[in-house]
């Protein structure tokens, strides 16, 4: 077991999970209502961490693709800055993270309905071989036949984290914004 200390914002403790993690063969996605991070294994004891987007939502991985769900209808929710607020429904309640790191609306109604119907607990994950991983005070691996094994997390080594921070001024996705804010300020008369 390798332990990584990630450079993420510390969330205040709440009754609910503030982040979800979706592991795959090369690393994992860490998602929240505020952002999405990609952690990629680069060596047995090394990962890179990169913030992919500053938008968030409830996350689902389906057929290897990351989807973010927002609310299909208006809701009332507690906001950490403003208390109880009304949240309007999103124009596209399901978005998919594409290969370029952009969140694109899911236009396929059947796919959107399938993603919205998924109910996943943030502390339970299912791997490709259908093993359920349950993290609740301890880590349990449950095989498809129902047998369970406790995973010992006490024996671990510290890993190395490389935090990749992209420069927003050189990101091609920001070109239309950078052009406007980069114009020289005219001299005052």
Q: Whole-angstrom Cα distance, residue 22 to residue 169?
A: 30
pLDDT of residue 108: 94
Nearest to 159 by CA among 43, 51, 36: 43
pLDDT one-digit tens code per residue, 100-151:
888 999 999 999 999 988 877 767 777 777 788 888 778 888 999 999 998 8
Q: Whole-angstrom Cα distance, residue 32 to residue 122?
A: 11
Beta strands at 2-3 and 157-158: parallel, antiparallel or unpaired: parallel
pLDDT one-digit tens code per residue, 19-75:
888 888 788 888 888 889 999 988 888 899 999 888 888 888 888 899 998 877 888
Identify whether the C-beta of residue 37 lies closer than 8 Å to the C-beta of residue 8: yes
Nearest to 114 by CA among 130, 94, 85, 139: 94
Token couple for 94: 């399901």
Q: Predicted confidence band at 186 (pLDDT cuts at 50, 70, 90)?
A: low
Q: Where are the domains of the chain?
A: 2-122+159-181, 123-155
Identify whether the C-beta of residue 131 lies closer than 8 Å to the C-beta of residue 143: yes
- Is residue 152 scored above 90 in pLDDT? no
Q: Whole-angstrom Cα distance, residue 26 to residue 32?
A: 20
Hunting for tokens 């980069």 — which residue is that? 182
Please provide the distance, in angstroms rounded to a whole number, between the alpha carbons at the two ends of the chain.
66
């Amino acid at each position: 077991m390798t332990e990584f200390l990630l450079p993420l914002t510390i969330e205040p403790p709440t009754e609910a999970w503030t982040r979800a993690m979706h592991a795959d063969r090369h690393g994992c996605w860490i998602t929240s209502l505020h952002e999405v991070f990609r952690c990629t294994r680069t060596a047995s004891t090394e990962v890179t961490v990169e913030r992919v987007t500053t938008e968030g939502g409830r996350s689902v991985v389906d057929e290897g693709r990351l989807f973010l769900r927002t609310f299909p209808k208006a809701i009332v929710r507690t906001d950490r800055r403003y208390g109880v607020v009304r949240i309007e429904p999103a124009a596209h309640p399901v978005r998919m993270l594409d290969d370029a790191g952009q969140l694109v609306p899911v236009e396929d109604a059947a796919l959107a309905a399938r993603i919205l119907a998924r109910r996943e607990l943030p502390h339970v994950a299912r791997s490709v071989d259908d093993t359920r991983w349950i993290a609740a005070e301890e880590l349990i691996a449950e095989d498809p036949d129902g047998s369970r094994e406790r995973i010992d997390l006490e024996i671990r080594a510290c890993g190395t984290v490389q935090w990749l921070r992209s420069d927003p001024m050189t990101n091609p996705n920001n070109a239309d914004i950078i052009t406007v804010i980069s114009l020289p300020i005219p001299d005052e008369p």
